[in-house]
């Protein structure tokens, strides 16, 4: 069964860094994209970063370009999101997501249609 489990969230001051991890057991090998979404209170969920599992091409929402880096460790079936120069507006629950082959995507980031999400990890950035 597909399972996405996030870790690494926490509270940091503005300008700080965090690295999120996502264990994608049973998912990574069936997905053409893996990615990260976030949802702040009162706001809709938005795509943050995505990576093609085959060629490692990446996609980012404009607000995080140059600050966030998405990467994948294929051997460990693990997805990462390195977040630097964090801002208070980055405060949100962050979700790992997968574009599973043959499953209609529900939300898109670039060409990746995501259909499965983890439970989320909270990131809080104080000013």
Q: Of how many residues is the chain composed?
A: 127
Structure tokens at 59: 């996609």
pLDDT in tens, 29-83: 888 999 999 999 999 999 999 999 888 999 999 999 999 999 999 887 899 999 9
pLDDT in tens, 72-98: 998 878 999 999 999 999 999 999 999
DSSP notation for 83-122: E-S--GGG-EEEEEEEEETTS--SEEETTEEE-EE---EE
- Decide if pLDDT at 1 tops 60: no
């Amino acid at each position: 069964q597909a399972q996405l489990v996030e870790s690494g969230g926490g509270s940091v001051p503005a300008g700080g860094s965090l690295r999120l991890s996502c264990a994608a057991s049973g998912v990574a090998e069936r997905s053409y994209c893996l990615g990260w979404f976030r949802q702040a209170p009162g706001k809709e969920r938005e795509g943050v970063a995505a990576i093609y599992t085959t060629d490692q091409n990446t996609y980012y929402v404009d607000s995080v370009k140059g600050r966030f880096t998405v990467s994948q460790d294929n051997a460990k079936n693990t997805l990462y999101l390195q977040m630097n120069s964090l801002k208070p507006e980055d405060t949100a629950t962050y979700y790992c997501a997968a574009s599973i082959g043959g499953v209609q995507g529900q939300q898109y980031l670039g060409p990746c249609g995501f259909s499965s999400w983890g439970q989320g990890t909270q990131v809080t950035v104080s000013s």
